[in-house]
Structure 1
Amino acid sequence: MTPSIFRTVLGPDFDRLHPQLQRRFSVGLASGEACTGRGVMDRIWHGRGFVKPFLVVGGTRNILVPRVGRNVPFTIENVPYTDSFGRETVTFVRTFDLPGRSRRFDAQMVLAPSRDRILDYLGTHQHLASDLHPRVEPDGSLLIRSGEHRFREGPVDVRVPGLIGGDAEVRESFDDRTGRFRIQVRVVNRHFGPLFGYEGSFTATYADVRTCGVRAGLRPVREEARA
């Protein structure tokens, strides 16, 4: 059986994850499971005022969230499928039910050709691609840090310079006391400081992907072949 993309990258360390995290990050074509998390973001925050225009632009393609809020209901959908280039892909589509209008933050993850990292394609048209480096923490939680970011549009293929890019850090854990997953996301620019983030908790349910399939609108409008 082919392991999930996270198990492949983490190797033997995958078994040190909390058992609930092991199941969540085993979602893939081999497991045949899709995972839906539903919960509440305690806080969605932004950095200083100059950040807002960039978030607004990103929001038009479901990259980042251009609004702040507290106690915001949200859903995360992790569904495996084979993309148009034959790669196993897992959706990480987050929907935030903000007052007046829901906002989405779309990501599709695939295994890098080197098999030592994950490629995270962001947005409806996968214009941004980031390297992700997961690590298991001593308490069994998962820490994911971003690496290089690249922008792709037609013939354009450029590395995003650190001056305007953001370094993302995602922490996910499981709280045995409450029976909920906890997540904390923080994006920081190395020159200008914190840009964007959110933190909250959720419960997860699993479904047979062969039965539920990939619902309409979950896959990106355009898929990017370049790693």
Structure 2
Amino acid sequence: MTRSPYELSTTPDVVERLHPRLRTYFGAIPPGHVGRGDGVFDVVGTPRRWLWPVLALFARDAVMFPVWERQVPFTVENQPARVGRGSSLEARVAVRAHRTFHLRSGDRTMVDAITAEPDGLVDHLGRHGRVSARLRVEVDADGPDAGALRLVSTRVAFRALGRGWSLPALIAPRVTLTERFDDEADLQRVSLVLTAPIVGTLYRYEGAFRYVIAPDEETGTR
């Protein structure tokens, strides 16, 4: 079986430190299957309404949305895929995720694709992947977050005018994503926070869900 982008971009000892249920979530999805989850986000978005016009621009490409809501039901679907950047480049093993937020104003879907690149794990955000973040993978062996996976962005880039541009570290936003498994509640808990220098928190969501790998009845074997 092909290894997942997470397994390809880190060492086996890091994967071994993951909670067993998280190894399923971050492991390879078998051909002809998808990963599906449903749960509730305690919060989504930002209460800083002056940021909403900027978030509305990102919403056009299914990256972030100009909202601030609590107790938002959501679903997630992870599909094995291959993502290429440019016609001459070999497509890389990827996991493409669709997270659908059932907001009061209607459903909105966030799209991204995770790939293992030569310089590490990269998250390509939105339908077209114009914004990307290189991620550092961390898994604590002990302590309160033992077995949880933490992803921290180390570079944010965007594509424009036919080429890629990296944002300087002094102004680049920072993404911190934490996934952990709550044995007592039998739930996977997720927290994502997007921050920027001086400004602080720009966007976040956090909540819990249940997740299973199931046959892809819509498309069959890929």
- Superposed displacement of residue 32, structure 1: 6.1
| Counterpart position of 1:131 | 134
Would you say how many aligned residue pairs link Structure 1 and Structure 2?
Answer: 210
2:125 is the counterpart of 1:90: no
Distance 1:163 1:123 in 2: 24
State the alpha-carbon separation in 1 of the partners of residues 201 and 47 from structure 2: 5
Partner of 1:44: 44
Q: Is the 8 A contact 1:80 1:91 kept in 2?
A: yes
TM-score by length of 1: 0.84
Q: Deviations over 1:137-187 (max 9, x none)?
A: 231011110121111134242122456532010111111111110001111
Classify 1:196/1:149 alpha carbon distance in 2 versus 1 (closer, same or farther; 3 Å). same
CA distance in 1 between counterparts of 2:67 and 2:47 reads 11
* 1:72 aligns to 2:76 (yes or no): no
Question: Structure 2 vs 1, CA of residues 43 and 33 (structure 1 numbering), >3 Å: closer, same or farther?
Answer: same
1:58 aligns with 2:58: yes
Aligned to 1:21: 22
Whose strand fraction is larger, Structure 1's or Structure 2's? Answer: 2
Equivalent residue, structure 1, for 2:105:
100
Q: Which amino acid aligns with 2:52?
A: K
1:186-211, Cα deviation, whole Å (9 max, x unpaired): 110022111010110000121235x5
SS of residue paired to 1:63:
coil
Structural RMSD (CA)? 2.0
> Cα–Cα, structure 1 residues 49 and 66, in superposed 2: closer, same or farther, change >3 Å?
closer
Cα distance, 1:39–1:3 mapped onto 2, change above 3 Å: same
Q: TM-score, normalised by structure 2?
A: 0.86
Is the CA contact 2:153–2:175 (under 8 Å) kept in the aligned structure 1? yes
Contiguous gaps of at least 5 residues in structure 1: 215-227
